[in-house]
Structure 1
């Protein structure tokens, strides 16, 4: 099962911002396996792999003291890594053409925190502590931007 964390000091462009960090098991749920495979579809840069926002994104909602992160990916990007989009019937609230491949929740530290625009995804075996993944430095995380903004109604 994917684990979600909230950590500061991970975004090099904004050290004070908190980053949502997902840890997925490459042999875990279909969504975890899909995210692990999407790493090979990303672009390299600055010690991370970037999933372009035109391919997928992270949708975050903060309700009370809980953060929910849903990863939405367009079917063509899933097909590029041999993942069947039909395995993911839940659709993005922002763009119903995108499939939600994984959703996770975590309690957010108080007081309310300011979040980075990035969500990081690490791959690790079950039980591997996040600190160990961060310290290893050999496996780059996949970074996803926030989702596209919902369109304003036209009058």
Structure 2
């Protein structure tokens, strides 16, 4: 199961800034595997892999102290990493062309969440690694998902 948290220490340039962080298991369920594979399709820069917002994004919904994050990806991008988009029948409410490949939720402090940048750092790690430890090693490069671009 994907693990979601808001934590500091993700951005080395601003270590005190809280960041929405999603940890997926590349050997886990299909949604986690699909998100992990997207790292091979991203462009590399600044110690991270970046998915273009025209290929996919993350939707954040805060309801009280419950944060839900949903990963939306266009079929073309999924196909580039060998994932069949038809495996994911749910579609984004903001753009029905995009497949919803993964959802995760967690309890957050709404005031702390308000300080997060408009992105989600996605790390790959197995269930044996604590979510708070992921991203502390220089070799742990996140896949950075932005929010859906405005049209």
TM over 0.5: yes
Equivalent position of 1:20 in the other structure: 20
Equivalent position of 2:97 in the other structure: 97
Query: Match of 1:132, SS?
Result: coil
Equivalent position of 1:68 in the other structure: 68
Equivalent position of 2:130 in the other structure: 129
TM-score, with structure 2 as normaliser: 0.91
TM-score, with structure 1 as normaliser: 0.89
Equivalent position of 1:8 in the other structure: 8
Alignment partners' CA distance in 1, 2:3 and 2:89: 22
Q: Number of residue pairs matched? A: 150
Equivalent position of 1:141 in the other structure: 142
8 A Cα contact 2:39 2:143, kept in partner:
yes
The CA RMSD measured in Å over matched residues stands at: 1.7
Unaligned runs of 5+ in 2: none
Alignment partners' CA distance in 1, 2:20 and 2:14: 14
Give a deviation string over 1:105-132, Cα, whole Å, max 9, x none. Answer: 0001254532211101000011311233
Q: CA deviation at 1:47?
A: 0.3
CA separation of 1:82 and 1:143: change in aligned 2, threshold 3 A: same
CA separation of 1:62 and 1:14: change in aligned 2, threshold 3 A: farther
Alignment partners' CA distance in 2, 1:94 and 1:16: 32
Which protein shows a greater Rg? 1
